[in-house]
Structure 1
Amino acid sequence: MADTTEDVADGIRWLADWDQWFAGLTFARGIAPDELAARLGALPGVHPGPLGALDAWSMVTETVDGDGVARVGSWGGWSFAVEHGQPAGAERLAEVSRGGAEAVHLDPQPDHPPKQFAYARDGELVCCFGLGEECWRGGHRPDFLLPELIAAGILTPDGACARPADEADTDRDRHTLAVVERRFGLSLPRHLIADTPLPAYVTCTH
């Protein structure tokens, strides 16, 4: 698979303004895209070939309950999976990060906001929180991103919310995505999610 690392200027904060963000995103550093698919539960022998977003969503309707379709690639030093249907990354993130790898999961939760962030490293869920709910953090090191969240004006030093109560959701989400983007060096162009045919796998969340 060709590595597409020539441009990392896109970042990920544009996701906050994209009204077509329905697919979960899992990033992994330290493993190749096909290994990322395997750790997300890719079914052996079920490899439908390069798919764009529309074809991937169509395939989701043909899978059994609990399955999804992951389109994978690499960009900016990270492997990534665009997860249509059931996002296996939400359940398997620690597994994705085993053996010294790192993994970041972003789930748009269009039917049950807020959007979710999680980070795992070396087989352990390090931290997680909802965008706009950064004051409620989980994981083995829930304060892992606290200095960055304070510096960005998202949280106060005592961990309370520092954003205006009437702030628009997209503005709030953009601030937090910017923190994640900078801390992990994440970047993913819109065309890779929306238009580009990518190697695809059927994944099982169970």
Structure 2
Amino acid sequence: MQWIPSEFPEGYWFIFAQGISPDALLDRLGADPIDPAVMGLQQANDYCFDEDSIIVRAGTAGGWSFAVVPGGVAGEFGVAEASKGTQAFQVYGTTNALRVFSHAENGEVTCQFISGWEGERTGVDPDRFLGGLIAVGLLLPDGRAPRDLGMDVQGAHNKMLEFASAQFSINLCLADIEIPLRARKLDY
């Protein structure tokens, strides 16, 4: 998933939910049906409603359903709702360099952090992915954040995406989202 920032420099939002269909994920996000109900990436980018609506498209990758909004963050909502009865995670980025990972299970956010601020994780189980964060170099071997020691992590954003991909065995590529996918309108 490390290709995401270069393909979507104006921002992105991806949410993944395990064991549910793309339509079920769109339902959980509160997305409304539209016509056409299936759109490719370019068609979705060209489709415009108003300032308070976006197109969200959904498909599958590696046993997970995913929803994607290139160019913007539908954002802070969705991951807890998408996780009811399962687990879900989201990664999003904005043009002002905010990059966030959130994981939820059974309706509760378990772990959330901002890229570059991994030492300030929140959620009901913020240490759940400690091993994965250490493995990709976002945290030091003792679990401390490099920032706490006055050090920066080079490529923290790409490492965050590498972590998510490895932790959940997601091998999403650009071709997976360029193809026609289920599409709906999402008000935010």
Tell me, yes or no, whether TM beats 0.5: yes
String of CA shifts for 1:137-164, please: whole Å, max 9, x gaps. 1111111112222233321325222799
User: How much does 1:129 deviate?
Assistant: 0.7
| Correspondence for 1:55 | 43
| Correspondence for 1:198 | 181
String of CA shifts for 1:69-126, please: whole Å, max 9, x gaps. 111111110101112466445312111111x2111111121x2223111111111111
What CA distance in whole angstroms lies between the structure 2 residues aligned with 1:41 and 1:67? 12
> More strand per residue: 1 or 2?
2
What CA distance in whole angstroms lies between the structure 1 residues aligned with 2:116 and 2:7? 18
Q: Is the 8 A contact 1:40 1:89 kept in 2?
A: no
Q: Which amino acid aligns with 1:145?
A: F
State the Cα RMSD in Å: 2.4
1:79 to 65, 68, 86: 65
> Residues 118-129 of structure 1 correspond to what in structure 2 (within 5 A)?
118-129=102-113
Moved over 4 A (4+): 162-168
| Correspondence for 1:5 | none
What CA distance in whole angstroms lies between the structure 2 residues aligned with 1:114 and 1:85? 13
Which runs of no fewer than 5 residues in structure 2 stay unpaired?
none
Q: How has the CA–CA distance of structure 1 residues 86 and 47 changed in structure 2, closer, same or farther, with 3 Å as cutoff?
A: farther
String of CA shifts for 1:53-81, please: whole Å, max 9, x gaps. 2221222x323x33221111111101011
| Correspondence for 2:173 | 189
Whether 1:28 and 2:13 are equivalent positions in the alignment is no
| Correspondence for 2:118 | 134
Q: What percent of counterpart residues are identical?
A: 32
Which runs of no fewer than 5 residues in structure 1 stay unpaired?
1-11
